């Protein structure tokens, strides 16, 4: 079978595609894959590094206001459709799969014009612009969370393929907290705001440090690569002491190995992170970013909170006192954490890549 994947702009659109490809190639070595992404997106670096053949189109997203930039966007879209048509005619795929981001728009639209089956995957609880546009003529639609299903005429809940990789990381997991100067036999709270960090979350953690010191649980706090020095400066300015039960690091590269070993996860409400945590059945405290398109993180977090899988803190209400109180209440209540974990696990799809591959295969004309 020949398959083209398209999606990009952020890791949340790229990694589900890569996880699907990785799992599919394990079971079918004859599978031929191409990836069509943007010339300037993260996918341009990430996809070739994964050993997948990559083609690019020039495209940009619409500005959400009256702007001459949108005239250029329409021009680039039509040009990208034309280029994608040539690429698809050359490769002749059996199906084209889109995992979101504006680059998937012209690629899957080109496939639809050529009569090639198309499958889209929506990672968030609220449907993105590209997927909403493509859904009208998509052959099959997969969603990560049940909350998104009602926004399509017909969709299948398949989960997020990235989660299956994290679940696989549970097997023979010997992650050593000593790497961070922490203990392996103490309950651990993981706090992170993404690879670049989240200033408001970082500030709240610093404000709460004196209360977190010497608790009967430990804190692993990832500040974000570019914000580590800033956090250290705040701690120094406040003349604060960091106890041995707290580790502060810029970034955690082996998150897949770490995640199964923690008792509570605190962070943003991005689709990929939530898929990983629900697949593992982790209780969460979600602090959605208010700076994303359509405020979709708030809707993601709300769907988790409504299901009893997470506590939610609005960023405008976040400070050290609120953060400590929420964390400490959960870390002092094992039964509550277990209840949240059960609800999270009910929302997670552990074999999401398998489910999505089956959906893609069902879209191919026999």
Domain limits, the chain: 2-160+351-363, 168-347
11 a known binding residue? Answer: yes
Torsion of CA 353, 355, 356, 359, to 10 degrees: 160
Region 307-317: mean pLDDT is 97
Average pLDDT, rounded, for the chain: 91
Helix pair 352-363, 11-27: axis angle to 10 deg? 80
What confidence score (pLDDT) does residue 9 get? Answer: 83
Q: Which residues contact 98 (CB under 8 A, 6 or more apart)?
A: 5, 6, 7, 104, 107, 108, 118, 119, 120, 121, 130, 131, 134
- Domain 168-347 is classified in which CATH homologous superfamily? Glycogen Phosphorylase B; (3.40.50.2000)
10 a known binding residue? Answer: yes
Measured in whole angstroms, the distance separating CA 348 from the mean position of its chain's CA atoms is 13
What are the two backbone dihedrals, phi and then psi, of residue 341, each rounded to the nearest 5 degrees?
-60, -40
Lowest mean pLDDT of 41-50, 181-190, 198-207, name the range. 41-50
What confidence score (pLDDT) does residue 129 get? Answer: 86
195 a known binding residue? Answer: yes
Q: Which residues contact 318 (CB under 8 A, 6 or more apart)?
A: 200, 201, 204, 287
What confidence score (pLDDT) does residue 325 get? Answer: 98
Task: Flag whether pLDDT at 64 surpasses 60.
Answer: no
CB 54 within 8 A of CB 43: yes
Most confident range (mean pLDDT) of 190-199, 254-263, 283-292 is 283-292
State the CATH class of domain 2-160+351-363.
alpha beta
Nearest to 269 by CA among 312, 226, 227: 312
What are the two backbone dihedrals, phi and then psi, of residue 310, each rounded to the nearest 5 degrees?
-155, 155
* Strand blocks (E) in the chain: 2-6, 32-38, 53-57, 95-98, 118-122, 140-143, 156-157, 188-192, 218-222, 246-249, 264-267, 284-286, 310-312
| 2-160+351-363 and 168-347 in the same fold | yes
DSSP single-letter state for residue 362: H
CA distance 138 to 202: 41
8 a known binding residue? Answer: no
170 a known binding residue? Answer: no
What confidence score (pLDDT) does residue 69 get? Answer: 66
131 a known binding residue? Answer: no
**81-102 pLDDT, tens per residue?**
999 999 999 999 999 999 998 8
Task: Flag whether pLDDT at 71 surpasses 90.
Answer: no
**114-152 pLDDT, tens per residue?**
999 999 999 988 888 889 999 999 999 999 888 889 999
Strand (E) or helix (H) holding 203 = helix 199-212
HSE (CB half, 13 Å, CA atoms) of 174?
Answer: 1
What confidence score (pLDDT) does residue 11 get? Answer: 81
What confidence score (pLDDT) does residue 60 get? Answer: 67
- What are 58-66's contacts with CB under 8 Å, separation 24+? 58/83, 59/102, 59/103, 59/105, 59/106, 60/102, 61/9, 61/102, 62/102, 62/129
Measured in whole angstroms, the distance separating CA 278 from the mean position of its chain's CA atoms is 12
Task: Flag whether pLDDT at 239 surpasses 80.
Answer: yes
297 a known binding residue? Answer: yes
């Amino acid at each position: 079978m020949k398959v083209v994947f398209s999606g990009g702009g952020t890791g949340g659109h790229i990694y589900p595609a890569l996880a699907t490809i990785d799992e599919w190639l394990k079971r079918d070595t004859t599978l031929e894959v191409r990836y069509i992404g943007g010339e300037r997106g993260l996918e341009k670096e990430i996809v070739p590094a994964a050993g997948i053949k990559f083609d690019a189109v020039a495209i940009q997203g619409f500005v959400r206001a009256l702007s001459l930039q949108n005239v250029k966007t329409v021009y680039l879209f039509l040009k990208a459709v034309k280029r994608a048509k040539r690429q698809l005619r050359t490769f002749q795929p059996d199906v084209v799969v889109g995992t979101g981001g504006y680059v998937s728009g012209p690629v899957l639209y080109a496939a639809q014009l050529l009569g090639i089956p198309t499958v889209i995957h929506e990672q968030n609880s609220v449907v993105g612009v590209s997927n909403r546009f493509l859904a009208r003529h998509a052959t099959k639609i997969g969603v990560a969370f049940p909350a998104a299903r009602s926004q399509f005429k017909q969709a299948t809940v398949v989960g997020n393929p990235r989660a299956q990789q994290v679940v696989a990381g549970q097997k023979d997991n010997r992650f050593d907290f000593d790497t961070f100067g922490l203990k392996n036999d103490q309950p651990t709270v993981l706090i992170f705001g993404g690879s670049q960090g989240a200033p408001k979350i970082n500030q709240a953690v610093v404000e709460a440090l004196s209360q977190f010191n010497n608790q009967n649980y430990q804190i692993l706090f990832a500040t974000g690569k570019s914000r580590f020095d800033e956090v250290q400066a705040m701690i120094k300015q406040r003349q604060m002491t960091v106890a041995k039960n707290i580790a502060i690091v810029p970034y955690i590269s082996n998150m897949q190995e770490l995640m199964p070993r923690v008792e509570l996860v605190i962070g943003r409400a991005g689709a990929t992170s939530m898929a990983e945590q629900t697949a593992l059945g982790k209780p969460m405290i979600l602090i959605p970013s208010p700076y994303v398109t359509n405020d979709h993180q708030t809707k993601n977090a709300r769907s988790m909170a409504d299901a009893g899988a997470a506590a939610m803190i609005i960023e405008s209400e976040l400070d050290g006192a609120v953060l400590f109180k929420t964390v400490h209440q959960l870390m002092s209540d094992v039964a509550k954490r277990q209840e949240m974990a059960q609800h999270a696990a009910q929302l997670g799809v552990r074999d999401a890549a398998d489910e999505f591959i089956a959906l893609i295969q069902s879209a191919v004309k026999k």
